[in-house]
C-alpha cells in the first residue's frame, strides 16, 4: 500500500492519474467490504468525478493541492454534502446533509478524494463497531473478531489497504483503540485543533475528529491540511501543525527526548501480551536515545466513571434532536399527537446502547442527581486534566498501552457493557484533558493480533508528539 504522501507526489507530478488511483481503491473497497463491512456507503461516482477533476487540474498546470488524488474514507458520522450520512443509526438511515463538515471541505480542497463513508458504532457510542444499523465491522485479520471502535470501519479500511488515510472521531478513544486493534496509526489531536462543524455530536466537550493511517507522516499531512480556526465552530482554535517532520533521522533520533510511562496504566487489567509488547517498545525507545521514566496520573482510577457521566450527559442533550419531526425515519401515528410520534420514532430509530446512554445522561442531569453526578464529574475532570498536565511537566510525552487488550471475538462483550466501558480507561484521559494522543502499532501481542502504544502530549504539541510516534512506529 502506497502512502498518502507518495500518492500525492505521483499524482501531482503527472506520473499517475487520480482516476487510476481511485479506480484501484474502489476495487479494493469492494473486495474488502465483502469481508469486513467497513463501509456504510461507497461513493464510486462522486469519487471518480472528483478524480477526473484532479487530473484536469494537474494537466492544466494548476495547483492540485498537497493531497492530490489521495483516496480517503470518512467515518459516517461526519457530514458530506449530498452523500448520505447515517452515523450508524436507523433514525438517520436516509439523512443526506446539505453541507460538508469543515474537515471534509478542507481535505477536498487539498485534493483528497472521498471514497466512501465508514461503518461505526451508532453515533460513536461503542468500542467494538458492532452496534451499527449497517451491521458489525469485522477485523481484516480475523473476521471472527471486532475491529474495536467506534471508528472501526475507518480502521479496517486503512488496515485492509483500501485507503492510506481515513477520518474517525474520538470521544473516549474511538480513533486510537480501533487503530491499535487493527495495527494502524490513530491520532486524536488536541481539542479544538480540528473543527467539529459537521461532526454529528456525541459528547461535544470530548468529541474530536482524528486521523487513521498506516504512516505517521500521512496523519501529520492530513492534520496540517485540516487544522486552523473555523468560524463555524466556536471551540476551534487558531493553531497549526507543521506539515514537515521535526526530528532528524540518525542513530539516536530520540536523544534528549523524555518519555513518561504511566504507572497506573501498566499494571492490573492490562493483558500480559500487551504489557510485554510495551516493555519491549520501551527498551527500543531507550535504545534510540530516549530517557524513559515512570510518572503517575493518580486520578486515572476515576477517569472511566467521570468520562461516562460527562459523555452520557452531553449525549442525552445532543441526541434530543432526533425526533424524526424535521428529518429522519418517522414512525407515523394517527392524528397530530406529535409527542407519541416522537416517542415511537426514537424508540424504533435509536439502538439499545444509544438509548442506554441517553437514559443515563438524562438521569445525571436531572434535578435530584445533578450535583452528585454531573457537577462532581466536572470537578474530577479538572483533576484528571491537572494530573495529566503535572505528569507531562517533566517529560515530552506519556506512554501507555492504547488499550488493555487486543481485539476480542464478535459478540463477546455485547451483553457486558461495563467490561466494554472499562476498556476506555487508557484512552479517555486524553479526551478529559483535551490533550493530543496518538496510537502506533506496538507489535503482535496475543492471538496473532496487534496491540498499540499510545503517546499523549501537551495540548497543541502535535508536531513533536507525531515525531516521537513516527520513530516509535519505525522501531
Partner 1 sequence: MTLRAPSGPHGARRTPFESVIGLEVHLALKTRSKLFCGCSAETFGDAPNVHVCPVCLGLPGSLPVVNRAAVDLAATFALALGCRITPQTQFHRKHYFYPDAPKNYQISQFDRPVGEAGVVEIGGRRIGITRCHLEEDAGRLVHPPYADHSLVDLNRAGAPLLEMVSEPDIRSPEEARLFLEHLRAIAQSLGVSDAAPEQGKMRADVNVSVRLPGEPLGTKVEIKNLNSFKSVQAAITLEARRQVLLREAGAPVEQETRGWNEGGQKTYVLRTKEGSADYRYLADPDLPPLHLDEVAIARLRGAMRELPEAKRERYVALGVRAAEAELIVLDVPQATMFDALLEAAGAIEPRPTPHTLATWLTGEVAHARKGAEGTLAPEDIDATALVALIAAVEARTITLTSAKELLGDVLAGADPATLIEARGLRQIGDADALGAMVDGVLADHPEVAADVRENPKALNALVGRVMRASGGQARADAVRALLQERLRLDPDGG
Taking alpha carbons only, the member of 231, 165, 238, 173 closest to residue 197 is 231
Report the residue from 13, 279, 296, 338 that binds partner 1 according to the rule CB under 8 A.
338
Question: Is the Cβ of residue 29 or residue 199 nearer to partner 1 in the bound state?
Answer: 199
Report the residue from 101, 107, 115, 257 that binds partner 1 according to the rule CB under 8 A.
101
325 part of the interface to partner 1, by CB under 8 A = yes
90 part of the interface to partner 1, by CB under 8 A = no
125 part of the interface to partner 1, by CB under 8 A = no
In this structure, are residues 449 and 441 in contact, taking their beta carbons and an 8 Å threshold?
Answer: no
355 part of the interface to partner 1, by CB under 8 A = no
Q: Could you give the angle at which helices 376-392 and 425-433 cross, rounded to 10 degrees? A: 90
- Listed in sequence order, the residues at least 6 apart from 450 whose beta carbon sits closer than 8 Å to its beta carbon are 141, 180, 181, 182, 183, 406, 441, 442, 443, 444
In this structure, are residues 453 and 399 in contact, taking their beta carbons and an 8 Å threshold?
Answer: yes
Report in angstroms how near the CB of residue 192 gets to partner 1 at its nearest.
10
Q: Is 75 a catalytic residue?
A: yes
Element (H, E) at 399: strand 397-401
Question: Is the Cβ of residue 306 or residue 467 nearer to partner 1 in the bound state?
Answer: 306
Question: Is the Cβ of residue 68 or residue 78 nearer to partner 1 in the bound state?
Answer: 78
Question: Is the Cβ of residue 199 or residue 288 nearer to partner 1 in the bound state?
Answer: 199
Question: Is the Cβ of residue 95 or residue 464 nearer to partner 1 in the bound state?
Answer: 95
313 part of the interface to partner 1, by CB under 8 A = yes
Report the residue from 31, 49, 232, 242 that binds partner 1 according to the rule CB under 8 A.
232
Question: Could you give the string, one character per residue 192-211, with x where binding to partner 1 holds by CB under 8 A and - elsewhere?
Answer: ----xxxxxx-xxx------
Measured CA to CA, the distance from residue 375 to residue 396 in angstroms comes to 32
SS (H, E, C) 67-99: CCCCEEEEECCECECCECCCCCCHHHCCCCCCC
Q: Is 150 a catalytic residue?
A: yes
Question: Is the Cβ of residue 70 or residue 324 nearer to partner 1 in the bound state?
Answer: 324
Taking alpha carbons only, the member of 116, 10, 231 closest to residue 2 is 10
In this structure, are residues 72 and 165 in contact, taking their beta carbons and an 8 Å threshold?
Answer: yes
Question: Is the Cβ of residue 15 or residue 231 nearer to partner 1 in the bound state?
Answer: 231
Report in angstroms how near the CB of residue 299 gets to partner 1 at its nearest.
21
The distance of Cα 425 from the centroid of its chain, to the nearest Å, equals 16
167 part of the interface to partner 1, by CB under 8 A = no
- Listed in sequence order, the residues at least 6 apart from 399 whose beta carbon sits closer than 8 Å to its beta carbon are 259, 260, 261, 262, 278, 281, 282, 285, 292, 453, 454, 455
365 part of the interface to partner 1, by CB under 8 A = yes
Report the residue from 2, 95, 269, 302 that binds partner 1 according to the rule CB under 8 A.
95
339 part of the interface to partner 1, by CB under 8 A = yes
Catalytic residue, chosen from 32, 43, 75, 129, is 75
Measured CA to CA, the distance from residue 52 to residue 18 in angstroms comes to 7
Report the residue from 30, 234, 252, 359 that binds partner 1 according to the rule CB under 8 A.
234
- Listed in sequence order, the residues at least 6 apart from 15 whose beta carbon sits closer than 8 Å to its beta carbon are none
336 part of the interface to partner 1, by CB under 8 A = yes
Report in angstroms how near the CB of residue 128 gets to partner 1 at its nearest.
23
Q: Is 151 a catalytic residue?
A: no
Among the residue ranges 1-9, 301-309, 331-339, 444-452, the one whose residues contact partner 1 (CB under 8 A): 331-339
Count of C-beta atoms within a 10 Å radius of residue 352: 11
Question: Is the Cβ of residue 374 or residue 455 nearer to partner 1 in the bound state?
Answer: 374
Prior bond to 150 cis, omega within 30?
A: yes
CA within 13 Å, CB half, 430: 40
170 part of the interface to partner 1, by CB under 8 A = no
Report the residue from 275, 327, 355, 447 that binds partner 1 according to the rule CB under 8 A.
327
371 part of the interface to partner 1, by CB under 8 A = no
Report in angstroms how near the CB of residue 51 gets to partner 1 at its nearest.
26
388 part of the interface to partner 1, by CB under 8 A = no
C-alpha distance across the termini of the chain, in Å: 19
Report in angstroms how near the CB of residue 370 gets to partner 1 at its nearest.
8
Among the residue ranges 22-30, 211-219, 232-240, 269-277, the one whose residues contact partner 1 (CB under 8 A): 232-240
Report in angstroms how near the CB of residue 459 gets to partner 1 at its nearest.
15
Its sign, for the CA torsion 351, 355, 361, 362, is positive
The residues in 62-81 that bind partner 1, with binding defined as CB under 8 A, are: 77-79
Question: Is the Cβ of residue 138 or residue 196 nearer to partner 1 in the bound state?
Answer: 196
Measured CA to CA, the distance from residue 283 to residue 354 in angstroms comes to 42
Measured CA to CA, the distance from residue 107 to residue 437 in angstroms comes to 21
Radius of gyration of the chain (CA): 21
Among all residues, which ones are annotated catalytic?
75, 150, 174
Q: Give the interface with partner 1 as residue ranges (CB under 8 A).
A: 77-79, 85, 87, 92, 95, 97-99, 101, 196-201, 203-205, 231-235, 313-314, 316-317, 320-323, 325-327, 335-336, 338-339, 342, 362, 365-367, 370, 374
Amino acid at each position: 500500500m502506497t502512502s498518502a504522501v507518495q500518492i500525492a507526489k505521483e499524482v501531482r507530478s503527472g506520473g499517475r492519474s487520480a482516476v487510476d488511483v481511485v479506480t484501484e481503491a474502489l476495487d479494493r473497497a469492494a473486495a474488502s467490504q465483502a469481508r469486513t463491512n467497513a463501509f456504510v456507503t461507497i461513493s464510486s461516482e462522486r469519487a471518480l468525478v472528483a478524480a477526473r477533476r484532479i487530473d484536469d487540474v494537474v494537466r492544466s498546470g494548476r495547483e492540485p493541492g498537497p493531497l492530490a488524488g489521495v483516496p480517503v474514507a470518512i467515518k459516517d458520522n461526519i457530514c458530506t454534502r449530498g452523500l448520505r450520512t447515517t452515523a450508524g443509526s436507523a433514525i438517520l438511515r436516509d439523512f443526506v446533509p446539505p453541507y460538508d463538515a469543515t474537515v471534509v471541505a478542507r481535505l477536498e480542497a487539498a485534493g483528497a478524494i472521498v471514497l466512501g463513508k465508514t461503518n461505526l458504532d451508532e453515533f460513536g457510542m461503542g468500542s467494538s463497531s458492532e452496534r451499527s444499523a449497517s451491521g458489525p465491522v469485522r477485523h481484516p485479520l480475523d473476521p471472527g473478531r471486532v475491529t474495536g471502535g467506534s471508528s472501526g470501519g475507518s480502521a479496517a479500511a486503512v488496515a485492509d489497504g483500501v485507503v492510506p488515510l481515513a477520518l474517525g472521531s474520538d470521544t473516549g478513544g474511538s480513533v486510537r483503540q480501533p487503530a491499535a486493534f487493527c495495527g494502524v496509526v490513530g491520532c486524536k489531536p488536541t481539542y479544538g485543533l480540528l473543527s467539529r462543524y459537521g461532526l454529528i455530536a456525541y459528547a461535544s466537550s470530548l468529541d474530536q475528529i482524528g486521523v487513521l493511517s498506516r504512516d505517521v507522516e500521512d496523519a501529520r499531512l492530513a492534520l496540517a491540511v485540516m487544522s486552523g480556526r473555523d468560524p463555524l465552530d466556536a471551540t476551534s482554535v487558531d493553531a497549526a501543525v507543521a506539515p514537515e517532520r521535526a526530528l532528524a533521522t540518525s542513530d539516536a533520533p530520540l536523544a534528549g527526548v523524555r518519555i513518561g510511562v504511566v504507572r497506573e496504566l501498566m499494571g492490573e487489567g492490562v493483558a500480559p501480551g500487551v504489557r510485554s509488547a510495551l516493555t519491549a517498545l520501551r527498551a527500543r525507545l531507550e535504545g534510540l536515545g530516549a530517557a524513559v521514566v515512570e510518572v503517575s496520573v493518580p486520578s486515572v482510577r476515576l477517569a472511566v466513571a467521570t468520562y461516562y457521566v460527562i459523555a452520557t450527559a452531553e449525549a442525552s442533550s445532543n441526541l434530543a434532536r432526533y425526533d424524526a419531526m424535521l428529518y429522519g425515519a418517522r414512525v407515523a401515528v394517527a392524528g397530530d399527537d406529535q409527542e407519541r410520534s416522537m416517542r415511537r420514532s426514537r424508540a424504533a430509530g435509536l439502538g439499545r446502547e444509544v438509548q442506554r446512554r441517553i437514559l443515563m445522561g438524562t438521569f445525571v442531569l436531572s434535578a435530584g442527581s445533578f450535583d452528585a453526578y454531573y457537577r462532581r464529574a466536572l470537578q474530577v475532570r479538572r483533576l484528571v486534566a491537572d494530573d495529566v498536565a503535572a505528569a507531562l511537566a517533566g517529560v515530552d510525552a506519556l506512554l501507555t498501552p492504547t488499550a488493555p487488550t487486543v481485539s476480542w471475538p464478535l459478540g463477546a462483550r455485547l451483553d457486558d457493557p461495563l467490561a466494554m466501558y472499562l476498556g476506555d480507561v487508557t484512552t479517555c484521559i486524553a479526551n478529559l484533558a483535551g490533550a493530543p494522543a496518538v496510537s502506533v502499532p506496538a507489535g503482535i501481542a496475543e492471538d496473532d493480533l496487534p496491540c498499540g502504544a499510545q503517546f499523549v502530549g501537551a495540548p497543541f504539541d502535535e508536531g513533536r508528539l507525531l515525531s516521537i510516534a513516527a520513530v516509535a512506529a519505525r522501531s
